[in-house]
Chain A
Amino acid sequence: MASDPQSAANQRIVEDLVSRLRRRQLVGSRATALETLLVLRQVVSKARFSNIDQLVNIIRSVGRRLVDAQPKEHSVGNTVRKVLHHIREEYHTANEQPAVESSFSIAKFVLQGQPRKQATIPSSETRVPLKENDPDDPDSFARVLKPVLMEAIQDVFDELETVYDNISKNAKDHIHSDEIILTLGMSKTVDFFLKAAAHYRNYTVIVAETAPFYGGREMAKSLSSAGISTFLVPDSSIYALMSRVNKVILGAHAILANGGMFATSGSLLAATAARSYSTPVVVCAGQFKLTPLWNLYHEYGALDFGDPSAVLGFDEGDLVDKVDVVNPYYDYVRPELLDVFITNYGDHPPSSIYRLLKETYDDEDNEL
């Protein structure tokens, strides 16, 4: 199969994205998710398969390659998982047969709970019969399924396209007049959210500049140009100002299965400071950031380190040689420190993230 031209084309697309991910030319979770989706669409449309397992395997192997290219960019894996989930769903509906209901055992009972009285009404409409592994026409399966699959992928696509709008839909219910909001870093999601709220409310934002990448400066500029009264402060003054802050609004890099999250470094400081003043911490994030992972790194958030010269420049001369410089990208924020996740599908407390994950992905895809 590797020799045929179509899969070679697939390979090329995949490799292209892999190299861009590896060189960090592609950053930002949403952009990465979109690119991944484009690649997957291409792959599916070109792929040849005669049963569902083959298709799943193709997608998985592509997913694995992409994830390995940049393991810290969780939205890649998440997108792959989501597509797999949708594909299975489409397959099951197209296949008419309800999901595997062959044998009932205790293990299954524990896993799936009480047997459902499956009210499978035999659909009256005559469908094109879905034949797997047809020896005469190995492509028939793919031919029938592909249009539905494309539709399913398009759905994921649409969801990503509208993610900011849907998150900020209810912004005005979360931000009230004359409130003081603290945020940090540059998060497009939060940016949209705050600007949406500004249509209805008159409030103030304090932005911590978030050294050493200073995403906060960009954020402050963007917010103030939208007419929001904005204060830019150094990270050091988060605690001093916290007593007057009504809400902390943060972006996320990845939401983890236990309700914690990876976020721009600095987020943990802000969340902890908020906790000591009992200030609510609100996280705005699209559901494509839901990641079926746990924080395995008890402290170091995601163990991803940035360029040390951003912290201590070479203009410091000999200091650079003598001193270790640490510059992590992300913090791991424990679920206890967060109050709510505002997503494109409603608001969720950290404790219900695991349920959301179950609904969004299939368990077997957690490990791609």
Chain B
Amino acid sequence: MRMCVSVLIHIYDESLPSEGQKLSTPLAAILALTEMMEQSNAGTMFELLTELKGAAEALSRQSLNPIGLKAGCELFIEFITLFPHDAASFSELKTELIRQGQHYAEQALAYRAKIAELAFDFIKDDSVILTHSYSRVVLQTLLLAHKRKRISGEISGSNATCEYFSSHVLCFSVFVTEARPRGMGIKTAEMLTAAGIPCTVVLDSAVAYAIDKVDFVLMGSEAVVESGGLVNAVGSNQIAIIAKAANKPFYALAESYKFHRMFPLSQYDLPSHNPGVLSFPQTMSARARPASSGLPSKASSVLFDNGSPIRMTQEDIARNNPDVDYTRPDLISLVFSDVGSLTPEGVSQYLVGMFAG
């Protein structure tokens, strides 16, 4: 078992989305689990399931942000549990399950295109879109829209009557948030600009300033949870709140393997939350307290005089800040997924179908 897990982690890391690769965390997890099944020598269904669950545990322990990963594992394990087995022998069943897992991972690669297709309808000419951080599905959607619009623009451009279009070959533009601390938004911006889509990076703190120019928000996701809410790179929640306040539609894009059976009640109910996040530095208060017993006003000045000026690096700040946050369902207009465009309420219908039927 021990050995299995180390192999597993290795496999997972390999299939993980390194730069440029197309596999997302839940799919990588599913692939890793199938790989593990192949190497496992479990003799019964029960043993296999225990092993899988252990492996899933181990995977999520070593991951900093286990939410997407957990969604994949959960889906696969639930599937295996419920798989109607009329296979003759257990090894045959196992082979079938492995085949299923691999098949799904392959199949699921096409989901983004499917989602892009759905979301494409919503991108009207001249629309201004706000997106956050880096999301492959958002990127794919935008690129698809750009490609199509350019073609249709050229067609109408060739038509003499449609001079308007010929001058507007580029039909939509994008605001991308910088997405501190990792600055993934810049990557999005680079890729969009390279494709010829007009694109501007906005500061995370400038979203409220920009929102009135925006037609709608397009957001990727780490996971879509049972409430219909969204777990995504930190900052998504505040964008959703701003969009709501400005009455702008907020669309989330999520492949169905990101549907996660989890019900966060608040930001601090997320599994990624730990006491270190947003903690106040101990040293400050500890140092300040003994001094403040005498003259509180003097104490602070002493602190400034004595110590070297306090420097805060981006890394320091990032260290006790969250990676992801949770967006309430009432802030989300629609969730585009490969199973269709869903209202947030519609998402939970699928989750219930899988896990609570």
Tell me, yes or no, whether A and B come into direct contact in the complex with CB atoms closer than 8 A: yes
Contact A113 B343 (CB under 8 A): no
Task: Decide if B216 touches A107 in the complex (CB within 8 Å).
Answer: no
Kindly provide the distance from the CB of A104 to the nearest chain B CB, expressed in whole angstroms. Answer: 6
Q: How far is the CA of A105 from the CA of B97 in the complex (A)?
A: 9
Q: Which residue of B lies closest to A349 (CB)?
A: B345
Closest partner residue, chain B, to A259 (CB atom):
B343
- Alpha-carbon gap, A296 to B108, bound state (A): 26
Contact B107 A107 (CB under 8 A): yes
Check A351–B345 contact: CB distance below 8 A. yes
Closest to B228 in A: A351
Residues of chain B within 8 A (CB-CB) of A116 are 357
Chain B residues 61-92 with CB under 8 Å of chain A are 75-76, 78-79, 82-84
Q: Would you call A294 and B76 a contact (CB within 8 A)? A: no
Closest A residue to B345 using CB positions: A351
Give Cα distance in the complex from A181 to B65, angstroms: 53
Give the residues in chain A near B127, CB-CB below 8 Å.
298
**CB pair B343 A110 closer than 8 Å:** no
A354 partner residues in chain B, CB cutoff 8 A: 342-343, 345-346, 349
Q: CB-nearest residue of chain B relative to A294? A: B341
Is B215 part of the binding interface, using a Cβ–Cβ cutoff of 8 Å? yes
B353 touches A112 (CB 8 A): yes
A322 at the interface (CB under 8 A from B): no
Would A298 and B124 be within 8 Å (CB), given that A105-B100, A110-B256 are in contact? yes
- CB of B316 closer than 8 Å to a CB of A: no
**B residues within 8 A CB of A113?**
350, 352-354, 357
Binds A, one of B13-21, B39-47, B48-56, B332-340: B332-340
In the bound complex, residues from chain B placing their C-beta under 8 Å from that of A115 are 82, 84
Provided the pairs A115-B84, A259-B343 are in contact, do residues A105 and B349 lie with their beta carbons within 8 angstroms?
Answer: no
Interface of A is mostly: loop
Contacts of A363 in B (CB 8 A): 340
Interface residues on A, range: 20 to 34
Chain B 100-126 against A: per-residue CB contact (8 Å), 1 yes, 0 no?
110110011000000000000110100
Collect the chain A residues with CB atoms within 8 Å of residue B198's CB. none
Closest to B341 in A: A294
Assuming the contacts A294-B341, A352-B345, asked whether A110 and B82 have C-beta atoms less than 8 A apart, the reply is no
Distance between Cα atoms of A113 and B75 in the complex (Å): 11
- Closest beta carbon of chain A to B296's beta carbon, Å: 49
Contact B82 A114 (CB under 8 A): yes
Answer whether A110 and B75 are a contact pair too, CB < 8 Å, given A104-B84, A115-B82, A351-B343: yes
Cβ < 8 Å to B, chain A residues 271-321: 294, 296-298
Instruction: Flag A327-368 by CB within 8 Å of B: 1 or 0 each.
Output: 000000000000000000000000110110000000100100
CB distance from B45 to the nearest CB of A (A): 16
A240 lies within 8 A of chain B by Cβ: no
A115 to B79, CA, bound (A): 10
A206: B residues at CB distance < 8 A:
none
B257 within 8 A of A: yes
- Chain A residue contacts of B76, Cβ below 8 A: 106
Query: Considering the chains assembled together, what is the distance between the CA atoms of A107 and B345 in angstroms?
Result: 20
Q: A106 near B101 (CB under 8 angstroms)?
A: yes
Bound-complex Cα distance A115 to B121 (A):
33
Tell me which of A109, A111, A351, A352 has the highest count of chain B C-beta atoms within 10 A of its own C-beta.
A109
**Does B259 make an interface contact (CB < 8 A)?**
yes
B215: chain A residues at CB < 8 Å are 298
A170 close to B (CB within 8 Å): no
Interface flag for A258 (CB, 8 Å): yes
Q: How far is the CA of A116 from the CA of B127 in the complex (A)?
A: 44
| A255 in the interface (beta carbon within 8 A) | no
The answer to whether B334 and A258 touch across the interface, beta carbons within 8 angstroms, is yes
**From B82, B122, B345, B354, contact of A294 by CB (8 A):** B122
Cβ of B333 and Cβ of A258 under 8 Å apart?
Answer: yes
Instruction: Write the A102-134 contact mask toward B (1 if CB under 8 angstroms, else 0).
Output: 001111011111111000000000000000000
Q: Is the CB of A297 within 8 A of B124?
A: yes
Question: Which one of B84, B101, B339, B357 lies within 8 Å of A110 (CB-CB)?
Answer: B339
Q: CB-defined interface of A152-167 with B at 8 Å, one 1/0 digit per residue?
A: 0000000000000000
Look across to chain B and name the residue whose beta carbon is closest to the beta carbon of A300.
Answer: B124
**A366 / chain B contacts, CB cutoff of 8 Å:** 340
How far, in angstroms, from A352 to B249 measured CA to CA in the complex? 19
Contact across chains for A110 and B259 when beta carbons are under 8 A apart: yes
Q: Are A107 and B341 in contact (CB under 8 A)?
A: no
What residues on A are CB-neighbors of B353 within 8 Å?
A: 112-114
Looking at the assembled complex, report how far the CB atom of A107 sits from the nearest CB atom of chain B, in whole angstroms. Answer: 6
- Does the CB pair B104–A107 fall under 8 Å? yes
Chain B residues with CB under 8 A of A298: 124, 127, 215-216, 249
- Residue from A107, A115, A259, A366 having most chain B Cβ neighbours under 10 A: A107
Contact, CB under 8 Å: A110 / B124: no
Partner of A114, one of B75, B107, B124, B357: B357
| Chain A to chain B: the 9 pairs with minimum beta-carbon distance, closest first | A113-B353, A114-B357, A106-B104, A110-B256, A354-B346, A113-B357, A351-B345, A106-B79, A109-B79
- What are 18 A-B interface contacts by the 8 Å CB criterion? A106-B100, A106-B101, A106-B104, A107-B108, A109-B79, A110-B256, A110-B259, A113-B350, A113-B354, A113-B357, A115-B82, A294-B122, A294-B334, A296-B121, A298-B127, A298-B216, A354-B349, A355-B346
- Other CB < 8 Å A-B pairs besides A115-B84, A259-B343, A354-B346, 5 of them? A105-B104, A106-B101, A110-B256, A258-B343, A296-B121
